[in-house]
Chain A
Amino acid sequence: MYESSKKEIKQRELSIKDLIVTGVFGAILLICTGIGGGVFAITPTLTFYFPLGAALLPGPVYLLYLAKVPRRGGVSLIGIIVGMLCLITGMHWGMTLGFVICSVVADLTAGTRGYKSKKINILSYIIYSYGCMGTYLVYFINPSGWAKTMLGNGTTQGYIDQMNASADVRVLLVMIIGTALVAIFSGFVGSVLLKKQFEKAGITE
């Protein structure tokens, strides 16, 4: 049993077990993101702070997942599946693209230290958290195109001015820096939990 698990670590490809762990942890990550970010997403004035809320809860889950599947492709797979889910539930395409790109980058980042370094893993979590920002970045790049679908082509100049006034660069900065801070906090809690509980219990490989 021990020998076979040792062999598995050396093996670079994802095994069936890894795929199943990915599914289970992906579900928990999704729920944590939903609980943390849901409050922000349904409040119209706070919708731009969704990435902050979404980064709060999944940290410990993410770090335990990296400890359980320390192989290239694991995080990317979660990103691709979550992105697909976003796409079929009709989220903005920016979110799907953001998730896929950020999860691949997060995967490569964590891979530079063989998924073992705590600091690098937290850094990878920060990058992963930036995934759901895709939608808002698209909004900031082109705010007038955003609302076109809803009100037909009756957008006035005054409307565009107002949109630009309410959603200025400060909101964007708060979003980017705030998400990083929240993700660091969540990752820190995660690494403490990992050391205190899961490594002792032998849950990690």
Chain B
Amino acid sequence: MRNLFFDPRTKLILMIFTVITATQAPTLEYECLLIALITFFGFLCKKGKNVIWGSAVFAALYLFTVFYLRSHIGSVYTMMTAWLSLIFQMYPCGLLAGIVIKTTKINEFMSAMSRARISKRIVIPFAIMMRYVPVVKEDWNLIKDAMRMRGIEPSFAGMICHPGLTVECIYVPMLMTASKAADELTIASVTRGIENPKHRTCLVELAFGLCDYIALLLFGTLVVGCFFA
């Protein structure tokens, strides 16, 4: 399946195209086209289940807007309009971002970014951030267990009864682990030569293939289309 590997740079450009299309789309129907394209892209990246859910939610929001909101004018309409227009701008980008983050490996991302000549100062924190978000979720589960063992309820009710204690029990372990993890990651990455000023190399060969060009062409057409539609 060598043919269906998308270069990280392609994914980044696709995201920029999606942002432009989502903010400039002339009608909601045009945005449905974008969602359809992203769904297709998700299938190619073998994330079919995620995109089917994603596009189903979008379809529900779309039908709600078309059949309900356009025929009812009132204060509900005003508030929902402000909110939904924000959601409709965000939704396609969020959907694509989810696929991209799930399918891009950190080493591929790093070497693609270094090929694109983006400063290490931006790339390193960004890569660490992507890697650390799931760790926080794991830590949170451990902290909850530890709090229950001490008889402190990690819930909203516990927050009301003992605000000081609950806050301390959440923040202190969370931040202690974070700063220890930062130290360990520093040692690990410095010993593996992250400070090397030379060009980064990667075992995975990164190159634009036919499918990259086709994807860029399809999304690019949508971008151009929204300025002429």
Contact = CB atoms under 8 A, between A and B. Distances in A.
Interface of A: 14, 16-17, 19-28, 30-31, 44-45, 47, 60-61, 64, 68, 77-78, 80-81, 84, 87-93, 135, 139, 143, 146-147, 149-152, 158-159, 162-163, 166-167, 189, 193, 196-198, 201, 203
B175 A61 contact: yes
A19 B125 contact: yes
B172 interface: yes
A26 B125 CA distance: 8
Contacts, number: 175
B171 interface: yes
Q: Is the contact region of chain A dominated by helix, strand, or loop, or is it mixed? A: helix
B78 A152 contact: no
Contacts of A61: 171, 175
A28 B131 CA distance: 12
B136 A27 contact: yes
B224 interface: no
Interface residues on B, range: 35 or more
A64 to B, nearest CB: 6
Given A193-B167, A203-B175, 19 more contacts: A19-B128, A20-B128, A23-B128, A24-B128, A24-B129, A24-B179, A28-B132, A47-B86, A61-B171, A88-B19, A90-B19, A90-B22, A90-B89, A90-B90, A90-B97, A147-B82, A150-B85, A163-B82, A201-B176
A89 B86 contact: no
A27 B129 contact: yes
A22 B125 CA distance: 6
Contacts of A27: 128-129, 132-133, 136
B167 A91 contact: no
A135 to B, nearest CB: 8
A77 B121 contact: yes
Interface string B179-201: 10111011001100011000000
B58 interface: no
Nearest to B91: A90
B107 interface: no
A163 B128 CA distance: 42
Contacts of A93: 23
A170 B155 CA distance: 33
B125 A81 contact: yes
Interface in B35-89: 65, 70, 73, 75, 77-86, 88-89
B228 to A, nearest CB: 16
Interface stretch (B2-10, B24-32, B145-153, B205-213): B24-32
B150 to A, nearest CB: 16
Contacts of A21: 179, 182, 186
A17 B182 contact: yes
Interface in B93-135: 93-94, 97, 120-122, 124-129, 131-133
Given A17-B186, A149-B25, A151-B81, A88 B121 contact: no
Contacts of A158: 73
A150 B28 contact: yes
A189 B79 CA distance: 34
B97 A147 contact: no
A26 B195 CA distance: 21
B136 A28 contact: yes
B120 to A, nearest CB: 8
Given A20-B189, A24-B128, A81-B126, A162 B179 contact: no
A189 B85 contact: no
A20 B23 contact: no
A59 to B, nearest CB: 10
A88 B99 CA distance: 12
